[in-house]
Structure 1
Amino acid sequence: MKLDISHMRYMTADDFKVLQATEQGSRNHEIVPTTLIHQLSGMRAQSGTNRSISDLAKLKLISKVRNAKYDGYRLTYNGIDYLALHSMLNRNTVYSIGGSIGVGKESDIYKVSDKNGTEKVMKMHRLGRTSFTTVRNNRDYLKKNSKNGVNWMVLSRLAAQKEYQFITLLYAKGFNVPEPFDNSRHVIIMELIRGFPMRRLRKHKNLPLLYTNLMKFIVKLGCSGLIHCDYNEFNIMIKDEDHIDPNDPEELGFVVIDFPQSISIQHKDAEFYFKRDVDCIRRFFKKKLKYEPKDDPTMLDTDGFGEGYRYAYPDFNRDITRTDNLDELVQASGFSKKHPGDRDLEDAMEEMRNTDEADEAAQEENSDAENSDEEDESDDDEYYYSESEESEDGDDVNSLDEENERIIEALSSGVGNLKMDKMGNYILED
């Protein structure tokens, strides 16, 4: 989805009141009645509300649903984009917005700057766009017999809030993650990493050190109570050499991004996802960097992994010993009961993790067929952001949403009686 903010400068305070009222009414209405929008906006005259509604509809910030039983409107992704940016502009965390530097399955990445000219990254979560193109487990996202589909705007907002909590806590604990600056709705502002995604790495001055540091990051995160669940070459940024401090003993030369899928080590599938994260790094180093260490029983050092150490890679049962409770502090999936409303997000994240497993298998198959180190970057599903290279916009693909057991079965078997409603959710046509 292309971000167009050219009309924001011409919007009045009343326009934003009406837009925010529509957002507020969307919490319990698929289509927000015009009378309710007027009440929530606090506008004195109905005519003023109607004028703002008309202007917002022309800008496609809200949309009127045809054949509705009453006169009403719903918020669009453009509308929630404007609300999020308006909030951060008022807080002076964003002053100007540049072009897109990354497009992915679950988010769009833009370069922004504050009033001081400091460049930052703006991540806009877009759950429901292409995140769920396959159904691997029969899961019910909503309550039984629910006629409403998943509200992807709500899930995008929850995902952004959850990731902001993760990186805020991890950054404070000294983990190599981007510095977070602000969060509003489905948008996060964080540090711009001067470097490139690890998937483009073909040589390194010290591969054994990079390998062991990447493995130690997984273990350190696990001992703190968390598992990344998407730890691969797409979500690891290698810093440019001129932005690495040689005098800093804590400098690892890389930064890990993308945390909305992280789970607790108490999750029932924690060992599986931990092993998958480890295998992703091992597979990349083997295929692209031709580095595949083996266990060496003659070595006594177990503080690292790979060449010169006893073990070639971490093991969940052997190496994970809880030293912190970060999963409890952020209420990570699998730790304990969650706040009402988090259930849908956790189900969506679970399906995303399962979908990523299928994507990795496909990527591995494609990688085996490559005869050179050059990669076709236009085929990558994952996003990345980099100072030196811009990504092309990816095509928006309709996502498959499950509303109950019958829809899941229909999607799995290819039954053709599926229909999409006005909110973009799948329903079964009788």
Structure 2
Amino acid sequence: MKTPKRLEPLLEDGLIDEVVAQLKSGKEATVYLVRCGEKLRCAKVYKDANHRSFRQATVYREGRKTRSSRDARAMAKGSKHGKDELEDSWQHAEVNALYRLADAGVRVPTPYGFHEGVLLMEMVDDGEGNPAPRLGDLDFTPEAAVHFHAVLVQEVVRMLCAGLVHGDLSEYNILFDAEGPVIIDLPQAVDAAANAHARGMLERDVRNLAVYFGQYAPELLDTKYEKEIWDIYESGELTPETHLTGQAEEDDTLVDLVSIFAAIDDAKREEAQRRAAAAEQDE
């Protein structure tokens, strides 16, 4: 196929040898199948901010480090430099998360570097050399649903032990290779300790898993893994080997997804107001 312009620098630098095909075009990036020597890998080309349907909500950026206070001020004001820094931070968030989670033993694609706005990583295959299917494209027996739900809950625990919450986990960003689930798409991952919305995001991620697998094994819909995991995490006792029961003590502070999304909208409005005020000051 014709080489996309964004991949030309990687060809020129010898990082890839051939663009084989386009695998998918999502809300945040387009993924291409590329050949590197004898290996097939994926090249994730991030879309420009103006062409993405997934916006960089302030709630996801909370707690992320910036390189300097000048960059932080520029990002808050919405200047050109600030927008460039936001874009760079958003793209690097997934790269950093992949390396961090791979080191922690979480099943994510192996990263092979970030070049010219392109993430080069492992192609997750189905065991026969073909790109692996998404979890949502598969069907499960009740027994298999219970098993793989437990596997993914344990992966969420490993992620949290590594200090991260996926923030957008569902059957659409989990691939299924010959050994089981592989978690993908992490640009919105948040720091569990630094982001005030981390608990709500983790609980939403875990509930998404219960709802998906619950269509095959309805008993999963009554589990409370999301509350149990966070309670143990807050106590400082969560480890990748922690035994979970799926039960947790109920309290009056139930997760309110409406409030979570309202907070995201409020954050967007506050950011717009800050930018307007900054523009008035500049004038």
TM-score by length of 1: 0.46
2:213–2:220 CA contact under 8 A, matched in 1: no
Q: CA deviation at 1:407?
A: 7.6
Query: Which secondary structure does the structure 2 equivalent of 1:110 belong to?
Result: strand
Q: Deviations 1:138-191 (Å, cap 9, x if unpaired)? A: x999444x565964x654443333322221232232210111112113111111
1:149–1:403 CA contact under 8 A, matched in 2: no
CA distance in 2, matches of 1:175, 1:130: 27
1:169 match: 100
CA distance in 1, matches of 2:188, 2:150: 24
Gaps of 5+ in 1: 7-77, 245-252, 296-310, 325-352, 359-399, 409-430
CA distance in 2, matches of 1:265, 1:159: 17
1:291 match: 218
2:111 match: 180
1:231–1:277 CA contact under 8 A, matched in 2: yes
Of the candidates 405, 409, 415, which is equivalent to residue 273 of structure 2? Answer: 405
2:41 is aligned with 1:120: yes
2:202–2:226 CA contact under 8 A, matched in 1: no
1:158–1:186 CA contact under 8 A, matched in 2: no
2:101–2:108 CA contact under 8 A, matched in 1: yes
Alignment of 1:16-415 (within 5 A): 78=5, 81=6, 85-87=8-10, 89-90=12-13, 92-116=14-38, 118-128=39-49, 129-131=51-53, 142-144=75-77, 148=80, 151=83, 155-194=86-125, 195-204=132-141, 206-239=144-177, 243-244=178-179, 253-266=180-193, 267-287=195-215, 289-293=216-220, 312-315=224-227, 316-320=229-233, 321=236, 404-405=272-273
Q: CA deviation at 1:404?
A: 3.5
CA distance in 1, matches of 2:214, 2:46: 32
Q: CA deviation at 1:234?
A: 0.9
CA distance in 2, matches of 1:88, 1:183: 14
- Aligned in 2, Cα 1:322/1:110: closer, same or farther, shift over 3 Å? farther
2:253 match: none
Instruction: Tell me the amino acid that sits aligned with residue 276 of structure 1.
Output: R
1:198–1:238 CA contact under 8 A, matched in 2: yes
Query: Which secondary structure does the structure 2 equivalent of 1:178 belong to?
Result: coil
1:93–1:182 CA contact under 8 A, matched in 2: no
Instruction: Tell me the amino acid that sits aligned with residue 280 of structure 1.
Output: N
User: Could you tell me the percent identity over the aligned residues?
Assistant: 21
Q: CA deviation at 1:202?
A: 2.1
The count of corresponding residues between Structure 1 and Structure 2 is 232
Q: CA deviation at 1:283?
A: 1.8
1:142–1:404 CA contact under 8 A, matched in 2: no
CA distance in 1, matches of 2:28, 2:82: 15
Gaps of 5+ in 2: 62-72, 126-131, 240-259, 277-283
- Aligned in 2, Cα 1:292/1:186: closer, same or farther, shift over 3 Å? farther
1:371 match: none
Q: CA deviation at 1:277?
A: 0.7
Query: Which secondary structure does the structure 2 equivalent of 1:314 belong to?
Result: helix
Query: Which secondary structure does the structure 1 equivalent of 2:108 belong to?
Result: coil
| Greater helix proportion | 2
Q: In terms of Rg, which structure is larger?
A: 1
2:9–2:116 CA contact under 8 A, matched in 1: no
CA distance in 1, matches of 2:104, 2:57: 36
CA distance in 2, matches of 1:207, 1:225: 27
TM-score by length of 2: 0.67
CA distance in 2, matches of 1:313, 1:86: 45
Task: Answer 1 or 2: higher relative contact order, Cα 8 Å, separation at least 6.
Answer: 1
Q: Deviations 1:24-76 (Å, cap 9, x if unpaired)? A: xxxxxxxxxxxxxxxxxxxxxxxxxxxxxxxxxxxxxxxxxxxxxxxxxxxxx
CA distance in 2, matches of 1:285, 1:227: 20
- Aligned in 2, Cα 1:93/1:265: closer, same or farther, shift over 3 Å? same
Query: Which secondary structure does the structure 2 equivalent of 1:255 belong to?
Result: strand
